[in-house]
Each structure stands twice: as C-alpha cells, then as structure tokens.
C-alpha cells in the first residue's frame, strides 16, 4: 500500500525521520525530505534514490513549508502522507536556585516554536494539498503522523519546555482529526519512548545503558526502524484517527 504514495517527511535527515524516509523509499514511495539547510538532507536524499528530493526547511517558517508542499505538487503531483519528525530539545530547570537564574524565556520559546508551532505549520499546509486529492473508496484523501514523546505524559526534571511542546502536539491531535474529517484526512501522533538516534547519542553511553534498563520490555533502546514501522501501520489502517500511540516498551519515565 505504500508503493506510489507521495510523502513529506520533516526532520528526514536524521534519526526517526531518516528511518521513515528510508522505509518509504524502499517500498516505492516518493519522499519530499524536509530538514534544516544546515542538515545533511541533500546527501541523505541522494543515498535514498531518485524518488527522494531534499528541500531545505525550517518547519516554523510559513515560506519554507509552503515551498516543501509545493515541491510535492510540482515533482510528484500530490501529497498522500505527511510525517512530522522535526524536533528539538533542551534540558534546563525552571529556576536554578544554586545560580539564582531563571530558565531563559528564549529557550522555552525556541522549543515551542519548533516542536509545536512547526508541527502545526506543517499540518495546516499539508492539509491544503491533501484536500485536493481524489478520495479512495473509503473517502480518504490523506494521512498525517506527528511525533510527540513520552515526555508529554511523564516529563522529567529539566523538561518543562520539551514536555509542554510535546503535550501540545498530543492535545492538537483530536481537534485536528475532527477539523479535517470532512475532507477524509486522518491524523495520529506517535509518542516515542527512548530511541537510538543522534538526539539520544548526545548522552554518555553509561546514561543510555541506564535509561535502557529502565524500560520494562524489551530492555533496550528502540530502533528507528521500529518507529518507521508504526508510521506505515498508521497509514495502512483506515480506522486509526485522532489517537496518540505510545511506542515505548511500557516505559514510564521517573522524575
């Protein structure tokens, strides 16, 4: 069912987005791979074949995302699937009482701007092009998959900005499913636990091993291909809509 699908994957140059672009391309889908101009998206797109095209995009920019959606239309004629993986994180306490400094407002705003505003920006502009599709026999015109985090539910110390940004993605999922239902566009959110990606590689090996051991089963970091597998399952199951799915091996993060 993925063959011939036209997709847009944000954050496609790395980690979960890259694994998704890889899986889609391997099965014959066309992919607009959107990532920051500073990313290695261009090299990744070349590696994945001639049905993958890189567009330099900051997801929080209306102009950039409009260009990415337009590329899907110009190069591939339509848009069937959008996967929002672009994201950023910060680890800062609300107030550092040792140094007497408050969390910088700019840091909080930056994380919200990329993770929440950026995700919504991509959804709203993708929906416009998907709405022009000819519906399938079920009336479906397109599917959108977002990426939240288990931090939306079990945010840890230092994650006020990140958790708030991801909880907002969870919160927008149902109302958007309702908004877009008239056009037959479905939307779901995946809330990943701990995945072995460059974002997590920033942590020392000892910490990653410790984190992996805190997962009930399986006691290991998720492989990005397992995230991509769920994206495909969401695309292929017409009844999945308006829902957030935890993909975390039953992990509940401690404070």
Ligand X SMILES: NC(=O)C1=CN([C@@H]2O[C@H](COP(=O)(O)OP(=O)(O)OC[C@H]3O[C@@H](n4cnc5c(N)ncnc54)[C@H](O)[C@@H]3O)[C@@H](O)[C@H]2O)C=CC1
Ligand Y SMILES: C[C@H](CCC(=O)O)[C@H]1CC[C@H]2[C@@H]3C(=O)C[C@@H]4C[C@H](O)CC[C@]4(C)[C@H]3CC[C@]12C
Instruction: Name the site residues for ligand Y (rule: CB under 6 A).
Output: 89-91, 149, 151, 156, 159, 162, 194, 199-200, 202-203, 253
Shortest distance, CB of residue 139 to ligand X, whole angstroms?
30
DSSP string, 74-121: IIIS---EEEE---------SEETTTTEEPPHHHHHHHHIIIIIIHHH
- Out of ligand Y, ligand X, none, which partner does residue 197 contact, by CB within 5 to 8 A per kind? ligand X
- Interacting residues with ligand X (CB under 6 A): 10-11, 13-17, 35-36, 39, 57-60, 85-89, 114, 118, 147, 149, 192, 194-195, 197-200
Residue among 236, 143, 233, 152 at smallest CA distance from 192: 152
> How many angstroms separate the CA atoms of 213 and 70, rounded?
44
| CB nearer to ligand X: pick between 68 and 143 | 68
Catalytic: 227?
Answer: no
Least distance in angstroms from the C-beta of 249 to ligand Y: 13
From ligand Y, ligand X, none, interface partner of 159 (C-beta below 5 to 8 A by class): ligand Y
Catalytic residue among 95, 162, 227, 235: 162
The one of ligand Y, ligand X, none whose footprint includes residue 253, by CB under 5 to 8 A per kind, is: ligand Y
Q: Which does 57 bind (CB under 5 to 8 A by kind): ligand Y, ligand X, none?
A: ligand X
- Which one, 141 or 195, has the nearer CB to ligand X? 195
**What are the structure tokens assigned to 76, written together?**
């591939």
Q: What pairs with residue 36 in β-bridges?
A: none
Strand 142-147 and strand 81-84: the pairing is: parallel
Residue 4 or 225 with smaller CB distance to ligand Y: 225
* Sheet-wide strand order for 30-35: 52-56, 30-35, 6-10, 81-84, 142-147, 185-192, 244-247
Shortest distance, position 76 Cβ to ligand X, whole Å: 20
List the alpha helices (DSSP H) in the chain. Answer: 15-26, 41-48, 62-71, 105-112, 119-130, 160-180, 198-201, 205-213, 224-236
Active-site residue list:
162
């Amino acid at each position: 069912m993925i063959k011939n699908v036209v997709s847009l994957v944000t954050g496609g140059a790395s980690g979960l987005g890259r694994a998704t672009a890889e899986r889609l391309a391997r099965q014959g889908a066309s992919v607009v791979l959107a990532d920051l101009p500073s990313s290695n998206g261009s090299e990744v797109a070349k590696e994945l074949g001639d049905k993958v095209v890189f567009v330099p995009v900051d997801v929080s920019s209306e102009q950039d995302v409009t260009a990415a959606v337009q590329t899907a239309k110009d190069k591939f004629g339509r848009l069937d699937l959008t996967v929002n993986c672009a994201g950023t994180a910060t680890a800062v306490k609300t107030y550092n009482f040792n140094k007497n400094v408050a969390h910088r407002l700019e840091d909080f705003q930056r994380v919200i701007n990329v993770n929440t505003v950026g995700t919504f920006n991509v959804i709203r502009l993708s929906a416009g092009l998907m709405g022009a599709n000819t519906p399938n026999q079920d009336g479906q015109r397109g599917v959108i998959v977002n990426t939240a985090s288990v931090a939306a539910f079990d945010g840890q110390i230092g994650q006020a900005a990140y958790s708030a940004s991801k909880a907002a993605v969870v919160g927008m999922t149902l109302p958007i499913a309702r908004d877009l239902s008239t056009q037959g566009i479905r939307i779901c959110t995946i809330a990943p636990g701990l995945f072995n990606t460059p974002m997590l590689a920033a942590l020392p090996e000892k910490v990653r091993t410790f984190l992996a051991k805190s997962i009930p089963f399986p006691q290991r970091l998720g492989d990005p291909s397992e995230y991509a597998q769920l994206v495909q399952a969401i695309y292929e199951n017409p009844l999945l809509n308006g829902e957030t799915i935890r993909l975390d091996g039953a992990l509940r993060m401690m404070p």
